[in-house]
Amino acid sequence: MGKAKFGRGNLLRIIVVVVAVAWLGLMAYGKGKPLPKGVSFAGVARVASKVEFLADRTYQRDGQPVREQAIFSRIHRIIDKAERFVLLDLFLFNSVHAPGEKYPPLSEEMTRRLVEKKQRSPQVDIVLITDPINRSYGGEEPEHFKRLRASGVRIIYTDTGKLRDSNFIYSAWWRLFCQWFGVNGEGWLPSPFAKNGPAMTMRGYLSLFNFKANHRKVVASEKEALITSANPHDASGYHSNIAIAAQGAVVRDVVDAEAAVASLSGETLPQWEIPDRPGSGTVRLCLLTEGKIKARLLQSLSRCGSGCSVRMAMFYLSDREIIAGLLGAAARGSEVRLLLDPNKDAFGRKKNGIPNRPVAQELVGKSRGKIQVRWYGTHGEQFHPKLAMISLPEETVLIGGSANLTRRNLDDLNLEACLEVTGPADSPVAREAGDYFERIWRNRDGVYSVDYKEFAENSPLRYGLYRFQEWSGMSTF
């Protein structure tokens, strides 16, 4: 009997050790496994034949909301004018929202235009790459996607399992015990996104908690490409966003980067012919994805000294290296101004201010006020742009697109896409972006932003929570 007890105890210890070793091994593997081919891309600098800055704004004037929207009109124009192909990579593309709320029907309008484009021009290839969030991580395909398929639009769901693990502690457990059961099935659990959202399976929920995403927002035809922070998602319809549209050889880079996403998902894009439109002028364009966005931003920040300026309009700011880069630029005499979302609104739900409020407190405090912060005055919607503008003595650098400045967005975890635009400070695109920022900062023609003190806080608990979430990936930012 003693030997039996001793044997069972030893067996239990062996099982615990084996599981622990496997868990630790999977954590290390998930954090550092090889990236899929073509991911984390930096294109060559290309002379731009045409580049344009666009913005959507929701703000207050005389106590009433004002909504200025330009991005989706431009996207619709790209679709309408395409002659060979339309390629879209869109993160949120659905109409899910809280009951009783009214939003612009962005997803329906996009669906309708794509269907009608295919009907008018059946020879035009239309490919939509999207995140599995739009089918509730394995649930039934939504009706608007079924309509797209029926019209001839090809839909590719990104295989996010091929990406590195951001929530690496949880994902190691998921790989050990959950991934073998798949995610498909009939949903029976309530949607985490809205009360009336599509039901989800338990396996879908377990997959969701990996917090992996194809977070890109890209639209391209053979004529031009547009990269934005905006989603064709009804509940995001009043968010403030930015976009950069460009023509020229950068379109080929965008298509190649999207071909890599299709490839990691087991699909292949057609070899479309893209007309060679050599650019002229002094503005240069470069496509950046994933970790290359961070590398180029840090490179530009490292060049900042006296006489330089850094302006950012950002939904999430939490990456520790970017924070160090901002503090370094301020210490060397650069003007640093940040427009941040107060992180208080999320589709009808209240948020706790993490990460932006603890990060703002750190930046203002450590720089002794040299870094200036203003908050966008949101009223239920979000200040959702991802834009950095760095003015150097010889040139201005803009980096804008889908990527928040967080570990998940910048450390080769999520799929992201941005355009880097480099040119003289008096170039049209630099002036447009600069005017956008100054209009918000100075509340020209309306009330956009509020003073830092409005949402300033000094909470060691929230700061500690932010640092843990940023390190561990146990968060949605």
- List phi, psi (to 5°) of 415: -85, 130
**DSSP letter (8 states) at residue 164:** P
- What are the DSSP E strand ranges found in 142-194? 154-157
Which tops the pLDDT comparison, 386 or 349? Answer: 386
Q: What is the pTM of this model?
A: 0.94
Written as six digits, the tokens of 429 are 């695109």
Q: How large is the average pLDDT for residues 14-18?
A: 86
pLDDT value for 330:
98
Q: Are 400 and 430 in contact (CB under 8 A)?
A: no
Q: What is the mean pLDDT of the chain?
A: 93
Extended beta strands in 64-175, E state: 64-68, 85-90, 125-130, 154-157
Q: Within a 10 A sphere around the Cβ of 357, how many other Cβ atoms?
A: 25
Q: What CA–CA distance (Å, rounded) separates 233 from 106?
A: 6
- Residue length of the chain: 477
What is the structure's pLDDT at 196?
Answer: 76
CA angle at residue 227 from 358 to 165, to 5 degrees?
55
Structure tokens that stand for 359 in this block: 């990060």
Contact assessment for residue 448 and residue 442, using Cβ atoms and an 8 Å cutoff: no
Give CATH for domain 46-264. 3.30.870.10
pLDDT (0 to 100) of residue 191: 77
Measure the CA–CA gap between 324 and 469, rounded to whole angstroms: 18
365 in Cβ contact with 118 (< 8 Å)? no
pLDDT at 5 over 90: no
pLDDT for residue 198:
82
Name the residue type at position 53.
F
Read off φ and ψ for residue 317, nearest 5 degrees: -130, 115
Residue that wins the pLDDT comparison between 203 and 53: 53
Residues 159-208: tens digit of each pLDDT: 999 999 999 999 999 998 888 777 677 777 877 787 777 888 888 888 99
Provide the token pair at 328: 């370094």
What does the pLDDT average to over 317-327? 98
**pLDDT value at 361 more than 80:** yes
Residue 402 has pLDDT above 70, yes or no: yes
CATH number, domain 284-472, options 3.20.10.10, 3.40.50.300, 3.30.870.10, 3.40.225.10:
3.30.870.10
Please give the Cα distance from 92 to 115 (Å, whole number). Answer: 18
Helix (H, G, I), strand (E, B) or coil at 82: coil
pLDDT tens digits along 279-307? 778 899 999 999 999 999 999 999 999 99
SS3 state of residue 364: helix
As a whole number, mean pLDDT of residues 322-348 equals 95
Confidence of residue 310 (pLDDT cuts 50, 70, 90): very high
The CATH 3.30.870.10 domain(s) of the chain lie at 46-264, 284-472
